[in-house]
Chains A and B, each alone.
Chain A
Amino acid sequence: MSLPGQPAPVGATEIGTTSPAAVGAHPDEARIAIKERLALLRRSKSFIAGSIIVGFWVLCAIFGELVVKDPLISDPINDLIAPSADHWFGTDKLGRDVFARVITGAREVLIVAPLATIMATVLGTALGLVTGYFRGGVDDVLSRMIEALLALPVIIMGLLIAVALGPSKTTLIITIGLLFAPIISRTVRAAVLTERELEYVAAARLRNERTPYVLFGEILPNVTAPIVVEFTVRLGYSIFVAAGLSFLGFGIQPPTPDWGVQVAEHYGVISGGFWWPVLFPSLAIATLVIGVNLIADGVASAFER
């Protein structure tokens, strides 16, 4: 049995099962396939739980500023006050309200991580399509370059790029985008390698379609499932790396409220018993990352058989 929208086993086309070519040809069937996946998603508990958590942080990122105190106003007299009715999460060492900084801190990471992941996905998909489709020399050269790029830990590469370009939000996005692109391209390449042998690709070639059309018009729609799964998984890692680099001082720069920066600024006072400026941003990162991972888990089980 092959679900609509999934690559049919070779030979199944003759006996009238839905083939990937038919999905490309009939938008109706493609729509049904998407609907079925969305229905699967809606029933996935982990997807729902993840969406609620991530949705909460997205709301905080967009509207947080209107609800809480100004996260930038410092009040040095009232520094490091323990959580109280006035300051729910206490104040940090500059007397800024930790609750306000945690709520508004969602914004930067929710701008950086998705943009970086989109960049990585677009680059990685293009790279994966080209290397998987042409194989041979192009594939060899590009794959070796990718291997060299992956030979160093992401955080170390991030340090190097940040030193080269100077730390900023743009650098952070570009760094993560560039570093994750090869990882995504490997997944896409593997999917393309099986797709290119299928009949609809041969048919398109015989119709004398131009190569870019074959790549992006014919093959791309049939490898969207692994790309979507990869996107959600990478989104989690983007947050991981963005938080790590911000913590090290090579990501988002103070005084912008950001969880990684907050932890970096205050882990020094933790041994003095001032746990609140460190614990709350840490919890925020943990919940966001778990939320994104739950979504990724749901997407993976809905999109992969």
Chain B
Amino acid sequence: MVFLAAQVLPGDVGRRVLGPFADQASVDALNKQLGTDRPLITQYWDWISSFVTGDLGESIRNRPVSDVLFDPMVSSGKLALLAFVIVVPLAIAGGVVAAMNEGSFRDRLISVGGLSATAIPEFVWAVFFILIFALGLGLFPTTAQFPDGSSVFTQLKYLLLPSLCLVCVLFGYIARMARAGTIEALDADYTRTAILKGLPRRTVIRRHVLRNSLLPTIAVVATQAGYLIGGLVIIEVIFNYNGIGQTLARAATQKDIPVLQSGVLLVGIVYLVATLIADILYSVLNPRVRLGAAE
């Protein structure tokens, strides 16, 4: 499946990003400079073949696209990683707690609260967090752009608020999946067998319930990687963080097509890799899939 998606995606992104070129035919001078007055197929072929060799062309600001994109990718990676490190354990714990107390007040609080938090746009969370923690309490800076060469600790301090915004939006999805998976596993025959066997509750939860309930959750975490990138665009803009999201937003504003199309393709590749990693993790955790593949 990943292979199929890989086959479809670059072609699709290429067509999609090249679509704008056709509409811009009026901007003749720029088009000539970019070579966009040639047929779409030729452009697409040139672009994709040089992309593979690592030559991403030049931005309209006359800087190589790969330079424009590389540092922001690393910066965004840091931010996304921090958000994931916080949200995944938190949301799984939340979902499992909600499932074990199904129907209780705590369950309602986690489920409804999580979903409401998910629905509120990232920049709204950003505003709330900046007002409370940065301006109100003065604990954190209002931007995410840490000074060059600052220590890991300082970087964390700068990145905590932006990643918290992403955590708020992601928490609901992941917690909901963890909750649904756990409820299903708690109802399953093997769980009843384990309890009837007299195993301690902790062991039942850890070895029988969690192991089964977290599988669909991991799949969801991977699909959220796609969302996360979209969220990064907005968060990086409001926190003025020089990541891939802000770079893409700026490229879109300035109609810097070479940066935009390569950036989008990179984002697509990151998304694919995330899906691939999820597939691998899934098979590591689920012996059924592993055995099926070995046969």
Contacts and interface: CB of A to CB of B under 8 A. Distances in A.
Partners in one complex: yes
Interface of A: 46, 144, 147-149, 151-157, 159-160, 162-165, 236-237, 240, 243-244, 247-250, 260, 263-264, 267, 270-271, 273, 275, 278-279, 282, 285-286, 289-290, 292-293, 297
B238 A282 contact: no
A160 B252 CA distance: 7
Given A163-B20, A270-B135, A156 B255 contact: no
B248 A267 contact: no
A293 B116 contact: yes
A302 B248 CA distance: 42
A151 B124 contact: no
B135 A282 contact: no
Contacts of A144: 4, 8
Nearest to B115: A293
11 contacts: A151-B271, A153-B271, A155-B233, A155-B234, A159-B252, A243-B124, A264-B123, A267-B238, A275-B131, A282-B128, A293-B119
Interface residues of B, number: 50
B280 to A, nearest CB: 19
A155 B249 CA distance: 10
B17 A160 contact: yes
A155 B135 contact: no
Interface centre among A160, A271, A292 (most CB of B within 10 A): A160
Given A151-B9, A267-B238, A285-B124, A156 B16 contact: no
Interface in B73-121: 112, 115-116, 119-121
Contacts of B8: 144, 147-148, 151
B122 to A, nearest CB: 7
A46 B115 CA distance: 13
B135 A289 contact: no
Give chain A's interface secondary structure class.
helix
B21 to A, nearest CB: 9
Interface of B: 4-5, 8-9, 12-13, 16-17, 19-20, 23, 112, 115-116, 119-124, 126-128, 130-131, 134-135, 142, 226-231, 233-234, 237-238, 248-249, 252-253, 255, 257, 260, 264, 267-268, 271-272
A270 B120 contact: no
Interface centre among B119, B127, B230, B238 (most CB of A within 10 A): B119
B267 A152 contact: yes
A240 B119 contact: yes
Given A151-B9, A247-B234, A279-B131, A159 B248 contact: yes
Nearest to B126: A267
Contacts of B123: 243-244, 247, 260, 263-264, 267, 282
B127 to A, nearest CB: 4
A290 B233 CA distance: 23
Contact of B13 (A152, A155, A279, A285): A152
